Amino acid sequence: MTSIVVLNSLLLFGSGLVLIGIVSSLVASRFGAPLLLVFLAIGMLAGVDGIGGIPFSDFRATYLVGSLSLAIILFDGGLRTRVSGVRGAVAPAAVLATVGVVITAGLTGLVAMLEPFIDTIIVCVMTALVVVVSGAWNDPSIPQSAGVSLTAAAFEGSRRS
């Protein structure tokens, strides 16, 4: 008996959400608000941190529903797009995509080329500063030819200071 009551409550609540979605889409179309944004707000209000307080932790189902929704939205948008609107946007989109790829590749190459140099300079200079400031370079108990021992002693001395 209680399972029927729970099922009826879930159906009533789900129907209420659908009704709210329909009404909000009518209101959103009058104000020009994106419908996806309205549905996102309704979902947030119905969720665990919102007014509805619906507990939900099934991430696989969320991923599946979100992916299907995205596919439907993109399919619907593709069907509703006029060919004349696409023709006018092809050239600017191609130019922007090409320029964006060239700029991204150039910046990535520049960073990849300079990063080891900059990293090495920073690490070496900071290590040398620690060795000099800590006075480990002048400690007779540390062999000067053992760079690892000298650096370790310098960092140990700088932690004690």
The per-residue pLDDT for range 104-119, each reduced to its tens digit, is 999 999 988 888 888 8
pTM given for the model: 0.38
Q: Give the C-alpha separation, 143 to 153, whole Å.
A: 11
User: Which burial class, exposed, middle or buried, applies to 154 when counting CB atoms under 10 A from its CB (0-12, 13-18, 19+)?
Assistant: buried
d(C-alpha 117, C-alpha 96), whole Å:
32
Range with the lowest mean pLDDT among 70-84, 110-124, 143-157? 143-157
Q: What letter represents residue 161's amino acid?
A: S
pLDDT in tens, 10-52: 888 888 878 887 887 777 777 766 777 777 777 788 778 877 7
Domain ranges of the chain: 1-80, 88-161
